[in-house]
Amino acid sequence: MDEGEEALDAEGLRADIYKQREKETELKERIPELVTVSIFAINIKDIRNTFCGKYQQIIEKEIKLISKRAIDKNYDITTKFGEINEIIQKPPKTIEDVHATAEYIKKIGIEIEKRKLEIDDCMRTYDICSEFNHEFSNAENDDKWKLFGAPQRIMETIEAQTAILEK
């Protein structure tokens, strides 16, 4: 990537993967396995396969980059939800703390909606990885589904904490 170029997002990388696959197919079509020069048959299959292997390496690295971005984005969003959860569950010591927490709970709906959009974007990134048959570890899959359910868990926490604050 040259200076000044922006990094491709997951959709851009997806499109580039398909472009690399097309280039590999074109290369296989344009370069034969065997070339006959006069009375000599020259085997260029190894050279062709080497170049095709380069395209495969690019594709593999782009898929790994997409998966890394999904994992990193998941971590960032999960951390933000953890901070929200921590603020909501912080036990109040004074009446001002009760009031501050109640106000925070009233305003947090907008923040959760923003995070839902981020979660949807992250899930699309995971879907792109699935499209290319990328396997995530069990822990990474668990993290994916925990992220998917994070807004619901926050809403349950809000309901529980609201009942506590009313007392």
Confidence band (pLDDT; 50, 70, 90) for 119? very high
In contact, 154 and 81? CB cutoff 8 Å: yes
In this predicted model, what pLDDT tens digit does every residue of 11-24 receive, in sequence order?
Answer: 999 999 999 999 99
In a domain, 1, yes or no: no
Q: Which amino acid is at 71?
A: I
Is 4 inside a domain boundary?
Answer: no
Domain contains 159: yes
Residue 146 lies in a domain: yes
Which CATH number covers residue 52?
1.20.58
**Tally of domains within the chain:** 1
**Residue ranges making up the domain that contains 131:** 10-166
What is the C-alpha R_g of the chain?
25
Q: How far apart are CA 67 and CA 9, in angstroms?
A: 12
pLDDT for residue 6? 62
Q: Is residue 5 very low, low, confident or very high in pLDDT (cuts 50, 70, 90)?
A: low
In this structure, is residue 5 part of a structural domain? no
Inside any domain, residue 140: yes
- 3-state SS of 79-108 is HHHHHHHHHHHCCCCCHHHHHHHHHHHHHH
Is the pLDDT at 165 greater than 80, yes or no? no
Given a cut of 50, whether residue 1 has pLDDT beyond it is no
pLDDT digits (tens, 9 = 90+) for 60-101: 999 999 999 999 999 999 999 999 999 888 888 888 888 888
**Confidence label for 160 from pLDDT (cuts 50, 70 and 90):** confident
Is pLDDT at 4 greater than 70 in this prediction?
no
- Residue 3 in domain: no
Q: Is residue 2 assigned to a domain?
A: no
